[in-house]
């Protein structure tokens, strides 16, 4: 069955796609699956790992939002995967590889969104800092399966670590996820900010709205269609200058009006909570879970404490902080 699918890729995918039977392989040799291509297998390993399940209780933008319809890190991931798959399918690129990268791209994100990431980055400045894309790679390489990692293919790992920052993924499928990530969060963060009453649609930059559209659906459709046209013409991944500039104008607006504004009004509390716990677990390594203790000699107490905290969900972080630092009520019987 796997070989049939690999032959089908050769018949249906574009000649600049990444083919499963040409993968650079895994760090540890593993017999191939008889039913799934290597990229399908990677997608399944990501979906079934613990870090993926925790995304459902990690902040996207709004810290502890009251309401059932705000995005969390899991719904963001699913939106990125949907957008990325649509682009890959339209360009006849490898949809399985694209989906695996998209589903794994944020596995290393901290609790409390980018506030948590900034705090851990400052705490780890002397040991290389903290960046969620690198931590996502660390999760799949070193932390999942009790330290054995998921043993993913080179192409999926490269796409995960290169989904943000200045480095570009080596595969077109990985580069799709870089754009799909921005398309997703720019649009759903506008949606969530409007729902929260932080902005109104009329306040969005007029030129960006003229180019991309006035609604959530119109903007995504414009950007996806533009990427498809670009890919068909250039045989590469990108956007036209007009659409890209409009997207970045919206992104700048969000940073100015939402990310640095009211959506982060609890940020100082998050910063204090994470700093206090990192200092505590760096000094009290004996109170770390057994799995993390095994890596102290190899990675050092600061990095291991960072790994533990980065893997927490928002609610677990609050519960752990409460357990450690908030006095319990005294019940007299």
The answer as to whether 1 is a domain residue is no
φ, ψ of residue 26 in degrees (nearest 5): -115, 160
CB-side exposure of 128: number of CA atoms within 13 Å? Answer: 9
- How far apart, in whole angstroms, are the C-alpha atoms of residue 91 and residue 235? 9
Q: What is the 3-state secondary structure (H, E, C) of 95-124?
A: HHHHHHHHHHCCCCCCCCHHHHHHHHHHHC
What CATH number is associated with residue 55? 1.10.3210.10
pTM of the model: 0.94
Domain total for the chain? 1
Is residue 62 exposed (0-12), middle (13-18) or buried (19+ Cβ within 10 Å)? buried
pLDDT in tens, the chain (333 residues): 999 999 999 999 999 999 999 999 999 999 999 999 999 999 999 999 999 999 999 987 766 655 566 788 999 999 999 999 999 999 999 999 999 999 999 999 999 988 899 999 999 999 999 999 999 999 999 999 988 899 999 999 999 999 998 999 999 999 999 999 999 999 999 998 898 888 999 999 999 999 999 999 999 999 999 999 999 999 999 999 999 999 999 999 998 888 776 556 678 889 999 999 999 999 999 999 998 998 899 999 999 999 999 999 999 999 999 999 998 876 666
- How far apart, in whole angstroms, are the C-alpha atoms of residue 160 and residue 178? 9
Give the residue numbers spanning the domain of 256: 36-264
The answer as to whether 31 is a domain residue is no
The answer as to whether 101 is a domain residue is yes
The answer as to whether 285 is a domain residue is no
The answer as to whether 170 is a domain residue is yes
Q: How far is CA 10 from the centre of its chain?
A: 30
> What is the per-residue pLDDT across 147-167, written as a single tens digit (0 to 9) for each?
889 999 999 999 999 999 899
């Amino acid at each position: 069955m796997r070989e049939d699918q690999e032959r089908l890729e050769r018949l249906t995918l574009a000649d600049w796609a990444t083919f499963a039977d040409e993968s650079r392989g895994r760090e540890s040799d593993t017999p191939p699956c008889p039913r799934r291509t290597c990229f399908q297998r990677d997608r399944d390993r990501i979906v079934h790992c613990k870090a993926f399940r925790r995304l459902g209780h990690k902040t996207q933008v709004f810290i502890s939002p009251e309401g059932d319809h705000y995005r969390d890190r899991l719904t963001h991931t699913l939106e990125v995967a949907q957008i990325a798959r649509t682009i890959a399918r339209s360009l006849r690129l490898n949809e399985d590889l694209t989906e695996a990268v998209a589903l794994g791209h944020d596995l290393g994100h901290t609790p409390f969104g980018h506030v948590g990431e900034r705090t851990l980055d400052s705490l780890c400045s002397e040991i290389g800092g903290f960046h969620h894309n690198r931590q996502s790679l660390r999760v799949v390489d070193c932390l999942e399966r009790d330290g054995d990692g998921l043993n993913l293919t080179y192409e999926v790992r490269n796409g995960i670590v290169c989904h943000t920052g200045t480095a570009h993924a080596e595969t077109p499928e990985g580069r799709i996820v870089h754009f799909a990530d921005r398309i997703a969060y720019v649009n759903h963060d506008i949606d969530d900010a409007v729902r929260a009453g932080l902005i109104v649609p009329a306040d969005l930059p007029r030129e960006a709205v003229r180019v991309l559209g006035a609604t959530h659906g119109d903007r995504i459709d414009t950007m996806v269609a533009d990427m498809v046209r670009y890919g068909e013409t250039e045989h590469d991944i990108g956007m036209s200058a007009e659409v890209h500039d409009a997207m970045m104008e919206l992104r700048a607006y969000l940073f100015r009006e939402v990310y640095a504004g009211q959506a982060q009004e609890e940020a100082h509390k998050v910063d204090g909570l994470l700093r206090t716990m990192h200092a505590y677990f760096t000094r009290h390594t004996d109170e770390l879970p057994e799995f993390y203790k095994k890596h102290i000699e190899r990675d050092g107490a600061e990095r291991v404490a960072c790994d533990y905290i980065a893997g927490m969900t928002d609610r677990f972080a609050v519960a752990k902080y409460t357990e450690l630092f908030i006095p319990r009520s005294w019940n007299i019987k």
